[in-house]
Amino acid sequence: MSLETVPLVEITDIHENSILNKWLLISTPIPVIVILGIYLLTVLKIGPKFMEKREPYNIKGIMMVYNLYQIIYNSYIVGMLLLNREVQRYLIEHSCRPLHYSKNPFNDEFYHASWCYLFSKIVDLLDTFFMVLKKKNSHITFLHLYHHTAMVTGTWISIKYVRAELGVIPGAINSGVHVIMYTYYFLAALGPEVQKYLWWKRYLTKIQIAQFIIIIAFLGYLYLNDCEVSQACNVLWIANVFVIFCLFMNFYIKTYLQRDKSKNYKTFKKG
């Protein structure tokens, strides 16, 4: 298949917009705004108030089904984007210089994957609802809320206004990390007999941090090479991912490095 590079046109192409506007959640920002508004109001106000005088709910079964769903769904996204050799070749050759819509043989794959990715970010919001039901309000940190709301908002903006190629590689990386993350959660939910083998918990955060570094490097490549993508959105994503990276680094330092340092100090004092 010959993939000839042609000048890029804006996403405002009439044919392209007519397709986008037929998709659920895409034609207008109102559904996403309403979803995020309900999300924040529920997890910050309504949910904690509702649970104030109640015992934590036992939702182990629901959590296991949810984790299994996340593993399967995110694996589907990764497979859709990275297992097709023609798609791989296109991404290698044209991530920086996307083909015009009329010349791109993979429009359906990219737009379908983009919508699936947006839906996955919306489903991810359930993580916080489960924390509320289990009365783990201390886990609902600024990092947690910023991460979830920023990913939904940024993904919607990217799908609506930017060529899909910009987000394919970062989206595939992020979905792959989610497969690993929810596999851990699913195994941990099986109980103590399995948990004792899950020595790699702290490495989950390292994997998440590594993905942010790789994604920032890729987006930086698109910027430094003056690639034919929306550089305004590209810079916005670099800034957003960098903020999340800093928050995760802060979490890792406080949760693991400072705890290890304190533990070693106490051991030294006892000795």
Q: Rounded distance, CA 230 to CA 234, Å?
A: 6
Q: How far is CA 61 from CA 57, 58, 139, 145, 148, in A?
A: 11, 8, 20, 25, 23
CB 179 within 8 A of CB 124: no
- Identify the sign of the CA torsion 48, 188, 145, 143: positive
Task: Write the single-letter amino acid at 232.
Answer: A
* 139: annotated active-site residue: no
Please give the torsion angle defined by the CA atoms of residues 69, 75, 77 and 82, in that order, rounded to the nearest 10 degrees. Answer: 180
Residue at token pair 């904690």: 48
Q: Which of 170, 171, 175, 177 is nearest to 219 (CA)?
A: 170
Q: Which of 94, 112, 147, 148 is catalytic?
A: 147
Q: Rounded distance, CA 228 to CA 96, Å?
A: 6
Active site residues: 147
